[in-house]
Structure 1
């Protein structure tokens, strides 16, 4: 079997760079620092996403179409942070001790996190675009309901499940350098399957949703510039622009965290990079950045959404009283 798992730039999973048994000797500082970094991401992510889920589910004023998508985004991040301790144990032991079922489960959750973030942001962008169009044309969106948002969210989960099925199939336990590893075992020719899997991830997990989002926001900004609202509509327009701004910032942070990871795919497909300490360090930083996205979104809601802060404070006051 090709030793595909040892080079971050030539593997599909974000867990791949943990699998090199010689890593502690190559970059011991990273080996010691990463569990601490991932533990912080886990603690902050669990706290923040739990707060978002709790507020949206409990606060009556948070029952909105936009917030149902934010809720699903928080659930995806929460699932990932819940299993991050298992990945940390795998990293520290330099082998997989949990069996093949857990291997498939953990990789499934990791891939859910990789794909679902941008697809829920895509749906949020479509929603923002429809709201802007309705505002410009003075129309009501009768189909834009809380129930419809739930159905769309369910469809996104089903769609992402279908996308990640190949990864679940190829995720297996394999013995490398005398250690059991949870990784992707491709059939022959392995190099071709690996290239296809990278291209598949790049297109389905990044190119399609990001290009869709960019097109929608370009059209939306164009329509907003052409808007001429009467006095009564200006307050409503201001509120809608504020929500749009929040979605744009969440998207920008998501792209900041995920773009380097997906750019590594382009590097892997076009360049043969030696596995030097510097390359390993960059790969670990890129992975940490993609992980960090799972704990950043709750803080964006807290800083950008007044209704979220007010609802959170009100719920805390009710519990304390």
Structure 2
């Protein structure tokens, strides 16, 4: 999640920028098209194209297998399906970001500007929120296992309803960005797509950053950490019965999943949100190093969309078997 959306704020007067990929704090991190390094101009489209290709292939494969394979109709896979849809949606519009980067201006009009900015923000919030839902589901499953209780209400239908509610919640969170999205021209008369805040612009800019930081990272990540901490504590202190070996395997699987989920999530998104804090509290000088770091942070957040399929699906034995079986059927 910290994509070009968080970099598209309309800058204050006298600080125009045509490059939406550079974190913009209205008075810093600005880079006009004629100042852009040739290395950035060439390398970034290649990186974004790789992320787009891998993300589309991986997430589309996840969606296809879950929808087609009968054994994949599980509660967890319903959440994985929605996570893949969110990532696929973002990678589908990534070529437009690439085109804007190469052209140095926004040629696609106001309507598409609002749509692209909204989808970018959907990527920021939907991934982490579905990850939070998956964490809550796993927590409840482990808790019921420890207490030797069944979960009659944990059904595939219930998972679909929860997924719809999650999308509605994310839509409400993203709606302000859709309202403020607009096409504007800077001092160089270069047309760009950004968030056009009312006056005082700096106040609204900071508010949007804090809004994203709290709702898109602090609250969901804190929730995930608390749930997994309690879950591991319960597993570590549970008394094993005759099914000790099976429970011990489950304990190890959960431990590995906790490590992978938290490590990758924090690895991809923490730099972006740390950069947000830096942008809110300091005035960094514009330099090639700062610009390079900002591009790296953006690319890292983009990369999360192509890592999720490997984390939540390709590492799953049942998914691998279903995927191979479907390939064999098509080959036959």
TM tier relative to shorter chain = over 0.9
Deviation at residue 253 of structure 1 after TM alignment: 1.0
Unaligned runs of 5+ in 1: none
| Residue pair 2:29, 2:286 contacting (<8 A) in 1 also | no
Structure 1 residues 46 and 301, CA gap change in structure 2 (3 angstroms): same
Aligned residues: 315
Find the counterpart in structure 1 of residue 276 from structure 2.
265
Cα distance in 2 for partners of 1:240, 1:167 equals 42
Residue 21 (structure 1) aligned with residue 33 (structure 2): yes
| Residue pair 1:96, 1:182 contacting (<8 A) in 2 also | yes
Find the counterpart in structure 1 of residue 42 from structure 2.
32
Q: Which has the higher helix share?
A: 1
Task: State which of 85, 98, 103 in structure 1 corresponds to 2:108.
Answer: 98
Cα distance in 1 for partners of 2:66, 2:251 equals 19
CA shift digits 1:191-213 (9 cap, x unpaired): 01111111001000000000111
Find the counterpart in structure 2 of residue 200 from structure 1.
211
Deviation at residue 237 of structure 1 after TM alignment: 6.1
What TM-score do you get using the length of structure 1 for normalisation? 0.93
CA shift digits 1:45-77 (9 cap, x unpaired): 100000011111111111111111111110000
Deviation at residue 242 of structure 1 after TM alignment: 2.6
Runs of 4+ residues over 6 Å off in structure 1: 16-19
Cα distance in 2 for partners of 1:9, 1:225 equals 46
Deviation at residue 293 of structure 1 after TM alignment: 0.5
| Residue pair 1:9, 1:267 contacting (<8 A) in 2 also | no
> Where does 1:157-306 land on structure 2 (aligned, <5 Å)?
157-176=167-186, 177-232=188-243, 234-235=245-246, 238-239=249-250, 242=253, 245-246=256-257, 248-301=259-312, 303-306=314-317
What is the aligned-residue RMSD (CA, Å)?
2.0
SS at 1:183 equivalent? strand
What TM-score do you get using the length of structure 2 for normalisation? 0.90
Residue 76 (structure 1) aligned with residue 86 (structure 2): yes
Cα distance in 1 for partners of 2:35, 2:174 equals 29
Unaligned runs of 5+ in 2: 1-10
